[in-house]
Amino acid sequence: MNLIIFGPPGAGKGTQSNFIVKRYKLFQLSTGEILRNEIKNQTDLGIKISSTMNSGSLVSDEIISKVVERFISNKDYKDKFIFDGFPRNILQAKNLDNLLKKYDQRVNLVLKLTVSLDVIKKRISGRSVCSICGKIYNEFFNPAPSNSNCCSQKYLQKRSDDTFDVAVKRYETYEKNMKPLIEFYKNLNLLKVVNGESPISDINAEISDLIDTNEGWL
């Protein structure tokens, strides 16, 4: 079973990816995290990536594919991938298909979490983190307890970019960039749409049902 999960910032991809990884023992391949590790470890590829990013350019699809192939070629991970943050365009999607075929694999399922812009704005702009325990709260959906010594308002911190304006920009960028990719997988009959506004337990159950009944898992 190899699957891809899509969704706008604030849709809950991280939460659902963690659930899938734990339940089905899959390997989460996050290209962003892999690139950051390459840079951190100062590998030859990491130095090249750092130079590219420092110049203001995007990391090329060729480099991304090389990084991804390193993991796809590992027999320990065969048919155990959940791709997070990849692919981001049609070329990357086709490259991924070719890489998987090279190692006798394929994408079995593509999940798209759908969440309205109004909910995304509240999820992003309402987020705060307790500087003491690290617990995440949301003033609209999961406010911090008023009687807590640890998570009181004075200890709650917000990211500077967690604002309504930023939320709207992120959402619009996602919708614009991902539309061709969503159509690509829809035409391949791999796409399944999941309501990302449902309670987490309901989303877990729906995703489990989609995976359990997929031929890649049976």
Q: Give the residue numbers annotated as catalytic, written as ranges.
A: 13, 88, 127, 159, 170
Please give the Cα distance from 8 to 173 (Å, whole number).
Answer: 9
143: Cβ–Cβ under 8 A, 6 or more apart, which residues?
137
Q: In the chain, what are the helix, strand and coil shares in percent, each to the nearest 5? A: 50, 15, 35
Q: Report CA torsion sign: 49, 159, 112, 203.
A: positive
Which runs of consecutive H residues, i.e. helices, occur in 3-102? 13-24, 31-40, 44-54, 61-72, 90-102
Is 96 in contact with 181 (CB distance < 8 Å)? no
**CB burial of residue 100 (10 Å; 0-12, 13-18, 19+):** buried
